[in-house]
Amino acid sequence: STRGWTPSDARCWARLLLAEICCAEMLCVLLGSLRPSHAPSRACPPAASLVLSDEGDWLAASKPAGITVHEGSDSLLAALRADGYGELLPVHRLDRDTSGVLLLAKRPEAAAALQAALAETAVKQYRGVLVGVPPARRGRWAGALSNRAEGRRNPRGVAAERVSAETAYDLVSDNGFLASADLTLAVGGRTHQIRRHAASAGSPIFGDRRYGNPRRNAQLQERYGFDGMALHASLLRLVVDGVAFEFEAPLPASWSALGALDGS
């Protein structure tokens, strides 16, 4: 009831009502800002800038980060096809957010030869930025892993499904909190092997949305202005039909935001 109210009481009530309306409007704004957002796909550069070497029946390409290998009109295969390379067969994989060397065959026979060479002779080296500096400048992560993608809570996967896997690391530089490292698949080639080993060791890859800490990722990406995951397939050596090949993909230009951690 409003019986017995004074003008002072009415003014007080009006101020409270206005405050509630403002709070409600602010809550709507905040809730709107918390809706999940999806980063748009990045346009794939011209094919001429992507091909590292054309070996006749197959080629080595430098895949940009942020695009898939074969899904969508902005994929790596779509860019190469538009430049006249026809139908290509990727013979191994790189995650969407991973950049670097990728081999593609022009014929099924070449794909089979490349897959055999990768299994028997390949040396795959990556450059990655780790969140957290490992205690030793050089070493191996030897934890067994399941052969499928897992999650942040248990990156190694179900114990009964784990098989042997080793990743060698060699630190290039660090700033006391982040470290740039050369990472080599020493044993195995499990799904997300480097990312899962790094996370299990307490030094996840910078920007890794699956295995890293979401809050820390957001803070670091804001601090450095680097949007994405800092993992790059930098070097691939293998022997195909008795001939030794070595392919090296330069670091993406966006890594310059990481300063000395980009290895420059």
Catalytically active residues, by annotation: 95
* CA–CA dist 140, 185 (Å, integer): 10
For residue 102, how many other CB atoms are within 10 A of its CB? 24
Kind plus residue range of the DSSP H or E element containing 17? helix 7-33
Between the CA of residue 96 and those of 38, 75, 176, 232, what are the distances in Å? Answer: 14, 10, 29, 11
Residue 236: beta bridge partners? 124, 247
Six-digit token string for 204: 């996840």
CA distance linking residue 238 with residue 123, whole number of Å: 6
Two structure tokens written together for 63: 């895949």
User: How many residues does the structure list for the chain?
Assistant: 264
Q: Which two tokens stand for residue 236?
A: 């691939």
Q: How far is it, in rounded angstroms, from Cα 173 to Cα 262?
A: 9
Asked if 205 and 238 count as a contact pair (C-beta separation under 8 A), the reply is: no
Asked if 87 contacts 46 with a C-beta cutoff of 8 angstroms, the reply is no
Extract the tokens encoding 169: 């690391």
